[in-house]
Amino acid sequence: MSAIVTDQFRILNANNFVESVENTNNSYYIFIGLSNPKGTNTLVGFGRTTDWDTNTPAPTDSFAYRKHTTDTMMFGRKISSANIRRIIRRVDWVSGNKYEIYRDDYSAQNPSPNTKANSLYDANYYVLNSDFKVYVCIDNGSTGTNPTGNVSQDEPTFTDLEPSKAGSSGDGYVWKYLFTVSPSDIVKFDSTEFITVPNGWSTSTDSQIRSVRENGNSDVNLNQIKHIYIENSGVGYKNGSGQEVDIIGDGIGGKARVDVVGGKITDVTVSSGGKGYTYATVDLGNIRTNAVSTSAKLVPIIPPSLGHGYDIYTELGTDKVICYARFDDTTKDFPTDTKFAQIGIVKNPTKPDSSTIYFADSYSSLQAIKFSTVTGTPKIGEEIEQVLTVTPNKDKLARGYIASFDEETKVLKYFRDRSLNFNQTTLDHTDYSGISTTGRIYQFESSVGGNVVKGLESSFTGSVETGFTGVSTITSGNKLVNLGTNFNAGLSQSEINKGSGEVIYLDNRPEITRSTRQKEDIKIILEF
């Protein structure tokens, strides 16, 4: 048995994802993580490789790998409706290029004439002009004797609701204006490969979008069909200009005017597009004569949905979505000294010690220690440990990996994952001596007179500032600094439940080092 998953299913999935993100009951975040993808001098660790940057491993789609990702996750930014868009392949208008007309019947059996696309959405039937306006091509001067059409000479710039010629060159092109990419979308999502499409097309109150949408509603305007393609001009038809004929099929109200010169049909203009058509033919009975020796073949082009512009997601094939987040130094939640090698999307992480979904604009999933004194310089990615002094965990080891260290505030941020507890030789579940102690997770402690935290590579030492509680501190330069997370007795916990939420997208990248001179604009493209 033969079966296909249609383009419309892909568009539906993209629409469902956008609507899920915009649903106020959900909370999606772009996150970055894994500050030590190559491990350390003492340990490579689970999910890491020594040649990560030169031979970056593909993520593994397993429960274990995704859970490890949530362990090494560091920071997240909320994906709001302002930071998600449907996108389409970018096709720029260029003078001298040929563009294909919108047709509802491109397929493997009937490929598009220029690009040989097996589906409409792979054909170049729409363009983006130099002012970021998007148009669909209704006519390019093509006929059965000129199937590829003419080269385009006049750039469309108008915003008229009805299809129109773009200039006076006579290139034969007729364009239908759809929308203009907003300046904010250009700044945020601009790409050489894709065009962003406005959200909420069917409900938008934007005056321009509403006008295009309502004009495309053939139930109201009787303007569904815009173009009739002359496959064969025929021989022997009644000469005349503007001869009116009916467009018949499963819809109503369609009419066209036909020009005949020398018995051949030379031009067909739709005078009333009608409504409700899924197929149509042209009734030429009024102009047919006994002298017809070759029957004409006129093909009414059926637009999507109710008409051009009514549903641009279907018209343009929006089966891709772009998500955006900016990571900068506006808060201490996103320190500039860290590194990262993983980017992902997580859905519905929860608040600490709760099943309630986390909804804030951002989060830090790191734990943190505020030091009173530090000797040496901590190294990003290195392993740290503290010999505990408080019963019942006395003499046990608390361990972690450094994600960030702020010299000004003396705040060290860290994370922990299973590589700290696995066999340190085989880096897996293999049994080893001392597993009953080092195989367990112990929290760092805040204790007067307690042992210092030390780095295993840099050999730095730091004493926990046990008397510090709150979210802000005054530095030695008398500067008030917001630390981003709340501290209690010198320690801070993750702002979300570690391991909570569904990781729905994951990308491994060569290690990226942040700095005070840069911002990370992350754009994730999802294709359904």
Q: Do 387 and 345 lie in a common domain? A: no
Between the CA of residue 423 and those of 34, 70, 427, what are the distances in Å? 20, 21, 5
Q: What is the average pLDDT across 367-393?
A: 94
Q: What is the average pLDDT across 143-167?
A: 97
Determine, yes or no, domain membership for 175.
no
Q: Do 489 and 388 lie in a common domain? A: yes
The fraction of the chain above a pLDDT of 70, given in percent, is: 99
Q: Do 426 and 409 lie in a common domain? A: yes
Q: What is the average pLDDT across 360-370?
A: 95
Determine, yes or no, domain membership for 130.
no
DSSP 66: H
Cα angle at 503 between 499 and 507, to 5 degrees? 120
pLDDT bin (cut points 50, 70, 90) of residue 25 is: very high
| Contact partners, residue 441, CB within 8 Å, separation at least 6 | 416, 420, 421
Helix %, strand %, coil % for the chain, to 5?
10, 35, 50
Burial class (CB in 10 A: 0-12, 13-18, 19+), 152: buried
One DSSP character per residue, 413-435 reads EEE--GGGTS-TTTSSS---TTH
pLDDT at 110: 95
Q: Do 391 and 342 lie in a common domain? A: no
- pLDDT reading at 527 higher than 70: yes
Tokens of 96: 């001298």
Bridge partners of residue 362, in order along the sequence: 77
Determine, yes or no, domain membership for 119.
no
397-445 pLDDT, tens digit per residue, is 999 999 999 998 999 999 999 888 888 888 888 999 988 888 889 999 9
Q: Do 487 and 371 lie in a common domain? A: yes
Determine, yes or no, domain membership for 42.
yes
The fraction of the chain above a pLDDT of 90, given in percent, is: 84
Determine, yes or no, domain membership for 448.
yes
pLDDT bin (cut points 50, 70, 90) of residue 204 is: very high
Q: Do 510 and 400 lie in a common domain? A: no
Instruction: Domain of residue 11: give its range.
Output: 1-84+317-349+496-528
What is the distance between the alpha carbons of residues 341 and 509, in angstroms, rounded to a whole number? Answer: 5
Q: Do 487 and 508 lie in a common domain? A: no
Q: Do 324 and 387 lie in a common domain? A: no
Q: What is the average pLDDT across 300-316?
A: 96
What is the distance between the alpha carbons of residues 383 and 385, in angstroms, rounded to a whole number? Answer: 7
Q: What is the average pLDDT across 19-24?
A: 96
Determine, yes or no, domain membership for 27.
yes
Q: Do 513 and 526 lie in a common domain? A: yes
pLDDT bin (cut points 50, 70, 90) of residue 42 is: low
Q: Do 401 and 463 lie in a common domain? A: yes
Number of domains in the chain: 2
Q: Do 425 and 442 lie in a common domain? A: yes
Tokens of 72: 């090494």
pLDDT bin (cut points 50, 70, 90) of residue 252 is: very high
Q: Do 4 and 53 lie in a common domain? A: yes
Determine, yes or no, domain membership for 120.
no
pTM, whole model, 2 decimals? 0.90
Cα angle at 150 between 144 and 154, to 5 degrees? 145
Determine, yes or no, domain membership for 388.
yes
pLDDT at 448: 76
| Contact partners, residue 91, CB within 8 Å, separation at least 6 | 99, 124, 126, 127, 128, 195
pLDDT at 403: 94
| Sheet of strand 252-261: strand arrangement | 264-275, 252-261, 240-249, 280-283
pLDDT at 62: 92
269-291 pLDDT, tens digit per residue, is 999 999 999 999 999 999 999 99
Check which CATH number belongs to the domain holding 57 and give it: 2.60.340.10
92-114 pLDDT, tens digit per residue, is 999 999 999 999 999 999 999 99
